[in-house]
Amino acid sequence: MIETVSAILADGFFAAVAALGFGAISNPPMRAFPRIALLAAAGHALRFTLMTYFGVDIATGSLCASLTIGFGSMMLGRRIHCPTTVMSIPALLPMIPGMYAYKSMFSIVMFFQKIDDTAVCAAYLDTALRNGMITVFVILTLAAGATLPILMFPSKAYTMTRRQQCQNNA
Amino acid sequence: MQRQTQGDPHSELAATVGFIARYASYLMGSGVHTSRVVRNSRRIGSALDVEINLAVFPKSIIVSGTDAHGESFSRVVAIPACPIDFERNADLSALSWEAHDRRLPLAQIEQRYEELCAKPRLDPMLVMILAGLANASFCRLFGGDFKAMGIVFTATLFGFFVKQKLAQRGMNHYLLFIAAAFAASLMSSLSLILDTTSDVALATSVLFLIPGVPLINGFIDIIEGHILTGISRLTAAIMLIACIAIGLSATLMMVKSELL
């Protein structure tokens, strides 16, 4: 039990570090950092739990995680006047299936290296297609999960950066 | 104030459309999804009593403004290639609300815009170290051990350094990604000497280059109906991933020929 909990917490921790680091390349505002870390940890740990202990596939797991991040960024963003995507995109970055994208591309490179050997070629083509499918659908579910809250509550999502006191002054 | 002294409605409209063209192209270039750019631009326009319409293409935007007298003015602007910047995204979106709620005049909006754009980015050294730590954590998530994490951290710093240096020299974007992927993976191939999870180390060392933001933005654009810009963002991201694969394969061919 303790092992399970510590595995989940460790996964969340490393996801948070990954989100901050990859996010930092895209220059998020400093005030958003703690919220990005929290959202990334919650989303990635949820996906890890679903996939490891409940046998959920990677696309469904990613959808659950990205919905959590999407709704979470909506709840957390207003206080710091950040659009939802400023928090949700960095928080989603650790779940981008970079490894699958890379494996897919690598198999295509190898496909041409072994073009004369039909059996090996077929194996590389299979790997390329499988990893490519995972890449496309995981990114699609990540984006869909992050966008759904915006589509559901547009008036709330579009006024995230509006300052309330300005309205009173006006 | 300036608006009254100028008094010429046409040049006023031209100035408004000119500013919004600059604003919208900057936002598009720094990785804001299309629907937000359109919304923000129209909001600033309505604050200045100009109806704004945008046609967004992958490399350029057509901005057209119509004022209260029914006079219209349009401009085509090129979208600059800026680094992705979430802080500008948040600040400039807030500026559009500020302009709308306080009915700021154009001169003041422009002044605020210049101030917000002049804000410094995060320190490059800090970004490099954070990216290194992030990639090491990634290595951990994919089942690498602590030795592999250390190697990935070093490799990422090296790859990032190469990328920053070559970018300063104005090297082509694609060649830059090939070079950085090659440098990072070559560095992490040192793990083959050690007894560690070198496969994970080699594969994760290049993942800091994966263009995650355009990938997500591209799909968000498509979901929101901006299919043209969405597909162009995804295509650019896929090209970069292909470049990463080329750089990494070069290393693999050199150091691990039995894997091929």
How many whole angstroms separate alpha carbon B184 and alpha carbon B117?
32
Write out pLDDT tens, residues A84-104.
888 888 898 888 887 888 788
Mean pLDDT, rounded, for A10-21? 89
Residue A135 lies in a domain: no
Q: How many domains does chain A have?
A: 1
Across-strand partners of B62? B55, B76
Nearest to B243 by CA among B201, B196, B183, B187: B183
Contact A102 B248 (CB under 8 A): yes
pLDDT score of A118? 87
ipTM of the complex: 0.82
Residue from the list A83, A139, A163 with its beta carbon closest to the beta carbon of B89: A83
Write out pLDDT tens, residues B155-174.
999 999 999 889 888 888 89
Q: What is the SS3 assignment for B64? A: strand
Chain A environment of B86 (Cβ under 8 Å): 23, 26-29, 32, 86, 89-90
Q: What is the SS3 assignment for B76? A: strand
pLDDT score of A170? 37
H/E element holding B5? helix B2-6
Provide the shortest C-alpha distance from residue A136 to chain B (in Å): 10
How many whole angstroms separate alpha carbon B93 and alpha carbon B104?
15
Residue A125 lies in a domain: no
Contact B245 A15 (CB under 8 A): no
Tell me how far CA of residue B89 lies from CA of B14, B17, B93, B138, in angstroms. 25, 20, 6, 27
pLDDT score of B34? 92
Contact A32 B90 (CB under 8 A): yes
Rounded percentage of chain A residues whose pLDDT exceeds 90:
27
Q: Would you say A77 and A160 are in contact if contact means Cβ atoms under 8 Å apart?
A: yes
Q: Which residues contact B258 (CB under 8 A, 6 or more apart)?
A: none
Contact A144 B223 (CB under 8 A): yes
Provide the shortest C-alpha distance from residue A150 to chain B (in Å): 10
Residues of chain B with pLDDT under 50: 1-5, 260
Q: What is the SS3 assignment for A165? A: helix
Q: Quote the domain boundaries for residue A25.
A: 2-96+141-169
Residue A127 lies in a domain: no
**Res A19 pLDDT > 80:** yes
Write out pLDDT tens, residues A48-89.
999 989 989 999 999 999 999 999 988 888 788 888 888 888
- The single-letter code of the amino acid at A98 is G
Q: What are phi and psi of B75, to 5 degrees?
A: -140, 150
DSSP alpha helix (H) spans, chain A:
2-25, 33-53, 58-77, 84-92, 98-113, 118-152, 154-158, 164-169
Across-strand partners of A49? none
Contact B216 A89 (CB under 8 A): yes
Tell me the pLDDT band of A168, cut-offs 50, 70 and 90. very low
How many whole angstroms separate alpha carbon B209 and alpha carbon A102?
11
User: Is A19 part of the contact surface with chain B (CB cutoff 8 Å)?
Assistant: yes
Chain B environment of A61 (Cβ under 8 Å): none
Nearest to B122 by CA among A166, A149, A22: A22
Residue A123 lies in a domain: no
Provide the shortest C-alpha distance from residue B1 to chain A (in Å): 18
Contact A86 B204 (CB under 8 A): no
Residue A159 lies in a domain: yes
Residue A110 lies in a domain: no
Residue from the list B103, B142, B213 with its beta carbon closest to the beta carbon of A99: B142
Q: Would you say A36 and A90 are in contact if contact means Cβ atoms under 8 Å apart?
A: yes
Pick the residue from chain A with its C-alpha nearest to B120: A27
CA B222, B226, B231, B232 dihedral sign is negative
User: Is A15 part of the contact surface with chain B (CB cutoff 8 Å)?
Assistant: yes
**Res A161 pLDDT > 80:** no
Q: What are phi and psi of B71, to 5 degrees?
A: -80, 140
How many whole angstroms separate alpha carbon B232 and alpha carbon B167?
22
Q: How many CB pairs under 8 A join A and B?
A: 175
Nearest to B62 by CA among B217, B215, B223, B229: B229
pLDDT score of B61? 94
User: Is A117 part of the contact surface with chain B (CB cutoff 8 Å)?
Assistant: no
pLDDT score of B42? 92
Chain B environment of A92 (Cβ under 8 Å): 212, 216
Residue A111 lies in a domain: no
Q: What are phi and psi of A27, to 5 degrees?
A: 55, 60
Q: Would you say B108 and B87 are in contact if contact means Cβ atoms under 8 Å apart?
A: no
Query: DSSP per residue over A27-39, as a string?
Result: ---GGGHHHHHHH
Write out pLDDT tens, residues B168-227.
888 888 999 999 999 998 888 887 777 777 778 888 888 888 888 888 899 889 988 999
Contact A101 B210 (CB under 8 A): yes
User: Is A58 part of the contact surface with chain B (CB cutoff 8 Å)?
Assistant: no
Pick the residue from chain A with its C-alpha nearest to B243: A105
Residue from the list A17, A140, A166 with its beta carbon closest to the beta carbon of B134: A17
Nearest 10 degrees: CA dihedral of B166, B169, B172, B176?
A: 0
Contact B245 A108 (CB under 8 A): yes
Residue from the list B127, B203, B224 with its beta carbon closest to the beta carbon of A99: B203
Chain A environment of B33 (Cβ under 8 Å): 85
Contact B242 A93 (CB under 8 A): no
Rounded percentage of chain A residues whose pLDDT exceeds 70:
96
Q: Would you say B61 and B79 are in contact if contact means Cβ atoms under 8 Å apart?
A: yes
pLDDT score of B37? 93
Domain boundaries, chain B: 2-117, 124-259
Residue A64 lies in a domain: yes
